[in-house]
Amino acid sequence: MSPVSASVSWRAPLNPSIQYPEGISFLCLRCGLCCKDSFYKPRLILVLRSEVQRISERTGLKPDDFAEDSGKQIYEYILKKREDGSCIFLRKNICSIYDLRPLVCRFFPFYLKQVGSQDYLFSFTKECPGLGRGKPLTGKFFRHLFTYALKELNHGS
């Protein structure tokens, strides 16, 4: 699943309306579940071309060392995984490129869909054990994610 649906018009909307799950709480438990294949399904870690370039520049790795073509538009790459199904950047259950982690990782367990010309809806996947933990998230959290996604998606154009 991509963090922002490929059908989203990602040119900056003039007056967006953002809906999100009211009162939902979330605290990342750093369990690493979203960084590897699960028993039920493989994990596709989709990334933008600009994210691959940034990771390459900052780590000194060649893109081929850590990413491969996804065959998709917008999210043109997927991060490589190890034989055990874990992301190549996961070390001892911790992300080794945390400050550079791609949009899909920053969004999890949430994702964004466009439901009208200026209307956007955040949903979530229930597989994250961090949901229901911590303090309820506010609109500020979702607005920040939204703004960050638009910036990244436009940068990647």
Nearer to ligand SF4, 56 or 114 (CB): 56
Asked if 4 touches ligand SF4 (CB under 6 A), the answer is no
In eight-state DSSP terms, residue 98 is G
Asked if 67 touches ligand SF4 (CB under 6 A), the answer is no
Residue with tokens 């809806």: 121
- Kindly tell me which residue out of 8, 20, 75, 109 binds ligand SF4, with binding defined by CB under 6 A: 109
Asked if 90 touches ligand SF4 (CB under 6 A), the answer is yes
Asked if 30 touches ligand SF4 (CB under 6 A), the answer is yes
Q: What gap in Å lies between CA 110 and CA 104, rounded to an integer?
A: 9
- Kindly tell me which residue out of 87, 137, 149, 150 binds ligand SF4, with binding defined by CB under 6 A: 87
Question: Contact letters (x/-) for ligand SF4, 120-149, by CB under 6 A?
Answer: --------xxx-------------------
Helix (H) or strand (E) holding 149: helix 139-155
CA-to-CA separations, 119 to 7, 12, 100, 108, 115, in angstroms, rounded: 13, 12, 28, 20, 5
**Residues touching ligand SF4: how many (CB under 6 A)?**
22
Neighbours of 127 (CB within 10 A): 13
CA-to-CA separations, 141 to 8, 55, 57, 71, in angstroms, rounded: 20, 25, 29, 31
Asked if 89 touches ligand SF4 (CB under 6 A), the answer is yes
Asked if 3 touches ligand SF4 (CB under 6 A), the answer is no
Q: What residue ranges bind ligand SF4 (CB under 6 A)?
A: 28-35, 45, 79, 87, 89-90, 95, 97, 101, 105, 108-109, 128-130
